[in-house]
Amino acid sequence: MPHASRAEHYRREVSRIEGFSDAVFAFAVTLLVVSLEVPHTFEELWVAMHQFFAFGICFALLFQVWWRHFNFFRRYGLEDATTIVLTGILLFVVLFYVYPLKFVFTLVVDQLFGFNRLPGAQTPTIEVSEAPRLMQIYSGGVIAVFSVFALMYRNAYRKRAMLELDASQTLDARVNIIDNAGLAAIGVLSFLIATFGGPRAAAAIAGPIYFLIGPFKWVLGTYSRRAEQRLSTADSAPS
């Protein structure tokens, strides 16, 4: 019978902290739509439908955060004080940033598709001079969320002996530390541009700077695949 590591054992259980976290994420999704009243006319329905795209983006981002949190607990199942505190911080940030997230992407989608010109549309408004503060708020959330994930994976990496992680699982933990720390670093870069670059830089650079996530993910994926190949070669080499 193959030996089951501690991480594999926990992967089959749902802890109380996971259940509480799921409830908080569900509530956060509810907050995305709680401000929408039931339409009473087709015109009101049509106006409400223009928020579909912004809601979809916000939902996808919240789902990504939940998915990262889910994967962490499926892999390690840690319930130590550090993990509980970091999870509490993560959930606090998620709830706090629901409305800023909705504001940002409603604003972006409305400007891209011209929904702000629909009769009766209630579109977020912002002055050019306020753009730096908006990006500071958004980037602050990005920094907080992914810094917490980086610390959670660092904690798991430190406990790799207790969790009985093999070489591949240890590499995965290390890659996830780099992944989340890198996303937080991009958030820091956006925050600095918004803070010191002025309104124009905040509008033209601080937001689009997040497109760096694509190249960063590609580089990290290449590194991860090559590291996995080296591990496979080492394992298959005759002793």
pLDDT tens digits, residue range 161-174?
A: 999 999 999 999 99
Rounded to an integer, the average pLDDT of 203-229 is 93
Q: What is the pLDDT of residue 140?
A: 95
Q: Return the percentage of the chain with pLDDT > 70, whole number.
A: 84
The pLDDT tens digits for 31-84 are: 887 555 667 777 777 767 777 888 889 999 999 999 999 999 989 989 899 999
Rounded to an integer, the average pLDDT of 208-213 is 94
Q: Containing domain of residue 56, as a range?
A: 1-80+95-125
Looking at the structure, do residues 119 and 23 belong to the same domain, yes or no? yes
Looking at the structure, do residues 108 and 158 belong to the same domain, yes or no? no
Considering the domain boundaries, does residue 85 fall inside one? no
Only one residue has tokens 């590499």, namely: 171
Question: 33 near 101, Cβ under 8 Å?
Answer: no
Looking at the structure, do residues 170 and 221 belong to the same domain, yes or no? yes
pLDDT at 231 over 70: yes
The pLDDT tens digits for 86-144 are: 999 999 999 999 988 888 888 887 777 665 555 555 566 777 788 889 899 999 999 99
Phi-psi region of 11 (alpha: psi -120 to 50; beta: other; left: phi over 0): alpha
Q: What is the pLDDT of residue 34?
A: 59
Looking at the structure, do residues 219 and 177 belong to the same domain, yes or no? yes
Looking at the structure, do residues 67 and 132 belong to the same domain, yes or no? no
Considering the domain boundaries, does residue 87 fall inside one? no
pLDDT at 193 over 70: yes
Q: What is the pLDDT of residue 128?
A: 75
Looking at the structure, do residues 99 and 155 belong to the same domain, yes or no? no
CB within 8 Å of 202: residues ≥ 6 apart: 131, 132, 134, 135, 193, 194
Q: What is the pLDDT of residue 10?
A: 47
pTM recorded for the entire structure: 0.85
Q: How many domains does the chain have?
A: 2
Looking at the structure, do residues 143 and 217 belong to the same domain, yes or no? yes
